[in-house]
Amino acid sequence: MIMKHFIAFLFFLSSIIVYSQDISYKFGDVSKEELLMDSCDFYSDADAMVLFNKGYLEIDYEKPMGIVYVFVIHQRIKILTNEGKKYANRKIKYFKGKVKSQDDIIRGFKAYTYNLEGNKIKKTKLSKKEKYKNELSDYNQEMSFVMPNVKKGSILEIKYTLVSTNLGTLRKWYFQDEIPVKYSNFWYVVPEFLKYQVNNYGNYFPKEIKSKYKNVLIYSELLNEQGHEYIMKNITPLEQEPFMGDNSNALSRIEFNLVKIESSYSGINDIGTTYEKLNENLVKSYLFGKRLSKGGFSKKWKQELIGKSDYEKLEFLLNKIQENTNWNKHYHFLSEISGKTLYKRKEGDIADINLTLVAALKYHGLKAFPVILRT
């Protein structure tokens, strides 16, 4: 009898050990233990959770694009309740260049839903026809899709590679999400001639666990590369607060801004190491300064402004912009659409609306200047 209970205890103990082992990060290697999971151990109210989110970013050279960054993203999501099925709706936003050769490219995309049926794991592949490409603005597009066969208990797994020529601002890495995150791991590797300012935002700060150095051949030049790895575990979701608006600005994340290029060919080029340089770059940017000369959409009001004082013109144009546009709850300081496009869509972010107003004021002879503040 004692031996029988002892064997039962060993079986129970072995089940705990197997269940508590680290999950496999190999794509497709989903375990029954993951599928049987019915709650988040560090956030009991979760309808869904990110089991892991892994990213690896490095700078490379590819023909005909030139120097690019290559970003591999792999994530696995657990649906815990029926309410959590809404997280089957996924979107991947990426950059659209002025010409097609500058567009971000998504490669190697694959996505599966896993369910436990009886004692067997059934996986359902997202087909190509279930993916949709949406044009968001002149410079942004997105891939949207709904994961198939999602139910309570499902696991969603997505992996893809993003290739981009937009080296000025590398893609942000979000450690935090609107659902709890069990494990987040991020690697980035950049050559020494590109100097980035790395900033952490949010209430959680990642732990750097590893650095590495290696040589890479770019443009027939052997260069040193420096890599850093960061991890975070058991990250609770951001609590929505009144008047928060776009909560992505409050999520814990890491951002990269290029501030200097040091090359044996072109010497040292400061991109934005001082406020004066930042101001100069913003004025030249087609997403900021160039927008201020695009006030022609407002010429239809020219007759109505004849004889009005500057204050009356300001009041008139402000009212026109307010009456014909809606804020989409997003905060940005760069505008990706023109005033004409904003008027057609009747919706835009903070930068779209404010830069459109400044452009209209300048077009009608008023002195107006945008001001960027960070609080």
Give tens-digit pLDDT for 111-147.
Answer: 999 999 999 999 999 999 999 998 877 778 899 999 9
Q: In what helix (H) or strand (E) does residue 125 lie, and over which residues does it extend? A: strand 120-125
Q: What is the dihedral of CA 91, 92, 96, 102, to 10 degrees?
A: -160
Q: Which residue has the tokens 């023909």?
A: 63
The pair of structure tokens assigned to 93 is 């936003």
Q: Is the pTM of this model over 0.75?
A: no
- Cα dist from 142 to 124, 204, 350, whole Å: 23, 28, 20
The pair of structure tokens assigned to 313 is 């013109």
Place 275 in a pLDDT band, splitting at 50, 70 and 90: low
pLDDT score recorded for residue 334: 76
3-state DSSP assignment of residue 109: strand
- Tell me how far apart the alpha carbons of residues 141 and 132 are, in angstroms, rounded to a whole number: 10
Phi, psi of 145 (to 5 degrees): -160, 160
Partners of residue 94 on adjacent β-strands: 141
What's the DSSP call for residue 144?
E
215-232 pLDDT, tens digit each: 655 555 556 788 889 999
- Beta-carbon contacts of 115 under 8 Å, excluding residues fewer than 6 positions away, are 35, 121, 122, 123, 124, 149, 151, 153, 154, 155
Residue 7 confidence (pLDDT) above 50:
no
- Tell me how far apart the alpha carbons of residues 261 and 192 are, in angstroms, rounded to a whole number: 9
pLDDT score recorded for residue 372: 76
- Cα dist from 137 to 90, 134, 252, whole Å: 19, 9, 26
User: What domains does the chain contain, in order, with CATH numbers?
Assistant: 19-269 (2.60.40.3140), 286-363 (no CATH)
